[in-house]
Amino acid sequence: MRRVRKLALGLSLAVGSAAAGDLAYVTCQNGDALFVHDLSSGATVREWSVPGKPAGIALTKGSAYTVSPDSKTLRRFATNTGDVLAMTELDGGPIGVALDATRQRLFVSDWYNARIWILAADTLALQGELTVGAAPAGLAVSDDGNFIAAAERDEDQVAVFDAETLELLHTVPVGIRPFGLRFAPDGRLFVGNVGSNDLSVIDPGDSKVIATVPVGERPYGIAFANERAFVTNQYENTLSVVDLKTLVVIDTIDTGDYPEGIDTSSDGRQIIVANWFDNSLTIVDAESHSVLKTLETCDGPRAFGEFVLGGEP
Amino acid sequence: MKRRSLLLTGLAIGLIPALALAHGPTRQKVTLTTEVAADPAEVWEVVGNFQDMSWHPAVFSSTGENGNDIDATRVLTLGGADGPTISEILYKYSPDNMSYSYRITDVKVEVLPVTNYSSHLTVKPRDGGGAVIEWRGAFYRGYPNNDPPPELNDDAAIAAVTGVYQAGLDALVEKLGAPGS
């Protein structure tokens, strides 16, 4: 707490610490690990071994899900003990993961086989598959629980499914090579196109792109706070900040090298970025855009998914 | 069964140039540093021109366009006049920080078994005099799908890039002197 304040002073008067109890669960692909960081104190509170080069992450109260593409392994960890509660092998190229908490279904994309696995959130038992286009990567479930979206990287399009019936609603052409995507609090879907260096903004109830927003080089992940979208630009070592009303870039913030996974603190006041090359997290004030602090983490943090969980684990 | 999988492997390798945008599951990174006696400005004189990579022993010649501007390009010819080539593009250049970043736009995996390769070269002052040269790379292995053949797996990619960096840095120590020597 004291450390936060000390570092933050002079950068911004409006700085507070992250919401009490927020923890970041950072998958480190090169280090075969997951580090848990207390965002208030900056301390590394747990270090788990996660074999198989983990990248994808999804969280819910009590459980953290990791996807290791090298060993094709999906794991469910108990967030309080780090015990592996369930584990399964997914034969293909598992990469992105998203949880439908309402229906207790977990979705994992198969990069190599144009499909999405559907699994029981508790046991990880396979329940079925969705057929999608080539190289599905990022997955997201809308906040209202109505939609599931998948970025089909090699098709330059996004698939939107009805989360209840699992019917394909729309296939939406976007920019070049969409990879990460996330739903904004207002329900719109934001897609990062790593090949065309822009975001496609989609109304999930429609099959059209509302807007295309040019951002930095290799936009990878997107998070929302303070009526703004924050986008990690992998090749530029920056965040682009997009005003959600005007859909214009209003600021650019320096990060570490290869910023990738990005998420929001539970109070919506901070943005947390995983820097893959630097083995660090950059924590940014969502209002002032100042960098509040930088935390060391494990080797090759990807944190591909929602990786910050508020409250007690 | 075995025969079939071998056949498929052969086929897939043939397809790699067309799949240059695809990549394996895990991005790799390599960072090598070396220390030299020359001061940073002298080192930058040697390595700071994107159009001149004659300091690297593997590079036979370099042709390019647009100097050190962003999006400048170069084609490195390796070994000899009819050696293999690597095409690269500059995407960051900072003489103030003595650093630049570039990407490979075209290389055969038989030449360098990587895809989606980007690289950063930085010259910094060394404590006690001289300079530190840091060379970093980020890349995927040469084989974009599951179950890569050994010559195109993650280890092969790391070994190849490490070899290139080591040879270049060793040549710079040779040219610019080891600190304290």
Write out chain B residues lying below 8 Å of A92, CB-based: 146
Can you tell me the distance from the alpha carbon of B13 to that of A20, in angstroms, rounded to the nearest whole number? 52
Per residue in A216-243, pLDDT (tens digit) is 999 999 999 999 999 999 989 999 999 9
Section B67-90 average pLDDT: 96
- Which domains are assigned to chain B? 27-49+96-176 (3.30.530.20)
Q: Answer whether residue A5 shows pLDDT above 60.
A: no
Q: Do B25 and A217 touch (CB under 8 A)?
A: no
Lowest mean pLDDT: which of A14-23, A147-156, A213-222?
A14-23
Which residues make Cβ contacts (< 8 Å) with residue B29, sequence separation at least 6?
A30, A276, A277, A300, B136, B137, B138, B139
Q: Is B29 on the interface with A (CB under 8 A)?
A: yes
- Segments forming the whole domain that contains residue A139: 2-309
The pLDDT value given to residue A164:
97
Tell me which residues of chain B, numbers 117 to 176, contact chain A at a CB-CB cutoff of 8 Å. Answer: 118, 120, 136, 138, 145-146
Structurally, how many domains does chain A consist of?
Answer: 1
Can you tell me the distance from the alpha carbon of A226 to that of A285, in angstroms, rounded to the nearest whole number? 10
Q: Do A112 and B146 touch (CB under 8 A)?
A: yes
The pLDDT value given to residue A206:
87
The residue among A233, A277, A280 with the most chain B CBs within 10 A of its CB, best to mutate, is A277
The residue among A110, A111, A177, A220 with the most chain B CBs within 10 A of its CB, best to mutate, is A111
Residue B20's pLDDT band, with cuts at 50, 70 and 90, is: very low
Section A109-113 average pLDDT: 95
* Alpha carbon separation from B153 to A238, B23, B158, B166 (Å, rounded): 30, 11, 9, 20
The pLDDT value given to residue B17:
37
Q: Do A235 and B21 touch (CB under 8 A)?
A: no
The pLDDT value given to residue B21:
55
Write out chain B residues lying below 8 Å of A30, CB-based: 26, 28-29
User: Rounded to a whole number, what is the distance in Å from the CA of A166 to chain B's nearest CA?
Assistant: 27
Q: Answer whether residue B6 shows pLDDT above 80.
A: no
The pLDDT value given to residue A13:
37
Q: Do A177 and B21 touch (CB under 8 A)?
A: yes
The pLDDT value given to residue B4:
41
The pLDDT value given to residue A242:
98
Residue A1's pLDDT band, with cuts at 50, 70 and 90, is: very low
Can you tell me the distance from the alpha carbon of A200 to that of A296, in angstroms, rounded to the nearest whole number? 32
Q: Answer whether residue A12 shows pLDDT above 80.
A: no
Residue B13's pLDDT band, with cuts at 50, 70 and 90, is: very low
Section A248-269 average pLDDT: 96
Section A107-134 average pLDDT: 97
CATH code, domain with A125: 2.130.10.10
Nearest to A61 by CA among A47, A48, A79, A45: A79
Give the rounded percent of residues in chain B with a pLDDT score beyond 90. 81
Q: Is B20 on the interface with A (CB under 8 A)?
A: no
Q: What predicted TM-score, i.e. pTM, was given to this entire model?
A: 0.84
Name the residue in chain A with its Cα closest to that of B28. A30
Write out chain A residues lying below 8 Å of B70, CB-based: none
Give the rounded percent of residues in chain B with a pLDDT score beyond 70. 86
Nearest to A188 by CA among A146, A135, A137, A233: A146
Q: How many CB pairs under 8 A join A and B?
A: 42
The pLDDT value given to residue B180:
82
Which residues, in sequence order, are bridge partners of residue A153? Answer: none
Can you tell me the distance from the alpha carbon of A312 to that of A40, in angstroms, rounded to the nearest whole number? 13
Per residue in A29-57, pLDDT (tens digit) is 999 999 999 999 999 999 999 999 999 99
When CB atoms are compared, the residue of A177, A195, A258 closest to B138 is: A258
CB A298, CB A13: distance < 8 Å? no
Section B82-94 average pLDDT: 95
Tell me the average pLDDT of chain B.
88
Q: Nearest 5°: CA angle at B101, between B95 and B103?
A: 150
Residue A138 DSSP SS3: strand
Query: Token pair 């056949």 is at which residue?
Result: B7
Residue A143 DSSP SS3: coil
Q: Answer whether residue A17 shows pLDDT above 70.
A: no
The pLDDT value given to residue A19:
62
Q: Answer whether residue B18 shows pLDDT above 50.
A: no
Residue A299's pLDDT band, with cuts at 50, 70 and 90, is: very high
Section A12-27 average pLDDT: 69
Can you tell me the distance from the alpha carbon of A34 to that of A48, in angstroms, rounded to the nearest whole number? 5
Residue B145's pLDDT band, with cuts at 50, 70 and 90, is: confident
Write out chain A residues lying below 8 Å of B21, CB-based: 154, 177, 195
Can you tell me the distance from the alpha carbon of A180 to that of A153, in angstroms, rounded to the nearest whole number? 9
When CB atoms are compared, the residue of A29, A92, A217 closest to B26 is: A29
Query: Token pair 């209840």 is at which residue?
Result: A164
